[in-house]
Structure 1
Amino acid sequence: MTKKKCGKIAIIGQPNVGKSTLLNFILGQKLSITSRKAQTTRNQILGIHTEKDIQFIFVDTPGYQQKFLNQMNKRMNKSVTSVFHDVDVVIFMSEPKILNEIEIDLVKMIPNDIPVINLINKIDRITNKNKILELIDINSELKIFKKIIPASIKLKDNQKIILQEITEFLPEQDFVFDVDDITDKNERFLAAEIIREKIFRFTGDELPYSIAVEIENFEHKDNLRRIFATILVDKDSQKPVVIGKDGEKLKRISTDSRRDMEKLFQSKIWLEIWVKVQKNWFDDARALKSLGI
C-alpha cells in the first residue's frame, strides 16, 4: 500500500514576485488576490492541493518589506517570519536578478533544519540562458538552498516540476484536510478579499493600498448569499476615488465582485457595499484586530 505524504509549504518573498499567482495556478482557481501593489496579501492563507497520495498545504504570506513600518506592515512582516516554525518546506520566490540584502536577511531567518527551495520566477523575461545559469551559481554560493528552480510559474509544466521537487521534503503522514478542501478560510474572508482585489483593479494608482474591506453581515439561505460590506478608507479625499463619478466606479467594483463570488461560491449573490472613512485604521491595533490582520 502506498504511503501518504502531507506537509505545509510556506511561500515567501518580497512583494510582487508571484507568490499569490503561484498558489492560484496550482489550485486551479483564484484564492489569493493579486495586484501590482506591494503587500496585497495581508493574512496567511492556506491553499490545499491534493493529488492521489500527496497533500500539499501551501501557506501564502504577505510580501516581506521594510519600506513601510506602520502597525499593519509590522504585523504582516511578523506573520511571514512566524510561519517558519510551523512548516516542512519553504519556497523562497525571487525574480531573475541578484538577491538584495533584505531578501538574504529574510532567508537567513529560516531555521537550519527547514529545507528551502529558491524558486526563481519570471525567467521567460530573460533571453540569455547563460544569465540564468550565472544566477543559479551565485545563489548556490549562499549555501542556503536545498534546490534552486528557475521557472515561469504560469506554465503548466513548470507547476508540475515545482510540485515534484516539493514532494521529496514532505513527511509521510495522513492527510490533514479532506481531499476536496482548497482552503481553511471561511466565505466571509474570501468575499472581503474578492472585493479588495476589485478595488485595486479599478482604482489603480489613484488609491494607496491603505484600504480595507469589512464584511458587516453575511447571510446564507438556500442558494442565495446576502453580503453587506464596508470599504474602509483612510482619508475623506479617498472616498470619491472609490465611489467614482455618479457612483460608477463603486458599481463596477460591486458587479465584478458579485460575478467572482457567484463563481467561487456556486450560488446567487446579493451584494451591498458602502464606503466609510476611518482615519489611520492601519495604525490602530484594535481596528487591525477586528479586520483579522
Structure 2
Amino acid sequence: SVRKLVSSAPLTVNVLPLPDHSKPANFSGLVGNFDISSFIDKTSVKTNEAIALKIEISGSGNIKMIPTPQVDLPVDFEQYPPKISQKINRNESGVSGSKFFEYVLVPRHAGVHTIKPVEFSYFDIQSQQYRTVRTGEIQVAVEKSDDDLVSYVGGRGKEDIKYFGEDIRFIRQGAVQFYKINSNFYQSFIFIVLMIAPILALGAAAGYRRHQDKMSGNIAYARSRKANQLAMKKLARAKKLMAEQSQKEFYAEISHSLMGFLADKLNISAAGIITDEVEELMKKNSVAPDVVTQYLACLKMCDYQRFAPSTAKLADMKSFFNEAKQAIISLEKVI
C-alpha cells in the first residue's frame, strides 16, 4: 500500500458587511427571516397571582443567537428571569426553528395594565433590508386580592425630604460629663464594638445580597422560601370562615393552603395536584412516613367535609385547624 496525501479544492467565502443605512437601534445582529408572537395564559387575575407570558421567535437563521427580548412591563409587575428553550431544524435548505421565552409575572396592584408590544429587528436576506416585527399589545385586568395587605411599587422614586434647621442653636443645658485622666477611648468597650460592628454589618449585607440574588434568579428557591408565609395567610382566611354555616368554605380554604404549600415547596403547579398523588410526591422527596400520614389525613378530611353532607361542629373545626397548621409546620421541617 502507498500512503498519499489528497486535498480538496479551496473554497472562497465572500462575507459582505451589513449596511449602516436605516439600521434600527434595537437591531439584534441576526440575518435571515423571522417572526415573533406572544401568548399570556390569563388576562384576568388578582394581585400577587402569577401569570405566564410566553414569547416565540421563529424563522430561518441562527436560532441559537436570538437574544432575550426586552419586555416593557408596567411598574406594578414583578418579573422573574425567563425560562428559555429552543427547537432547531437543520436540512439542506439551512437552519430554521423557534426559540421560546417564558416569563413569570406577578402583578402587585389592581387595575387594567398594558404590556407593550415586544419588538425584534433583523436583516432580511431576500429584500436586503432591515425589518422589525412586533407582538400585539396585551391588556391584563388585575383585581385586588383578599390578602393584598402590602402596598409595594417597584421602580418609582420617592420625593426628597428637605430639612429646615433652627435659626438659633441654644446652649446645651444639663450636667457636664467628666472623663478620667489617662483614659484612652481606643481601650474602651464602646470602641471595640464600633470596630467590630462594620465587619458584622458587611457580612450581613453580603449574606442578604446572596439571598436576594438567589431569590431573583431561582424561582424554585423563591417559591420554597415564601411557601410558609403564603400558607399562613390562607390559614388566616380559613380561620375567619370558622363557623358552621360556612364550613364548606372553611375546609376548601384549608385544602388550598395544604396543596399550595406542597406545590410551592416542590416547585410544581398546585392546579395539577390531586390528593391521590400527594403521597407519591412526598415519598419521592424522602418525607418521613408519619408526616405523610398526617398530611394525607388532613387533605382527606378536607375532601370529605367539602363534598359530604355538613356534619362538622365548631369545636371540630377548631381542632382540625390546629391539626392542619401542625401538618404544614411538620412538612416545613423536612423539606
Q: TM-score range by the shorter chain?
A: under 0.3
TM-score by length of 2: 0.22
TM-score by length of 1: 0.24
Structure with greater Cα Rg: 2
The structure showing larger relative contact order (alpha-carbon pairs under 8 Å, at least 6 residues apart) is: 1
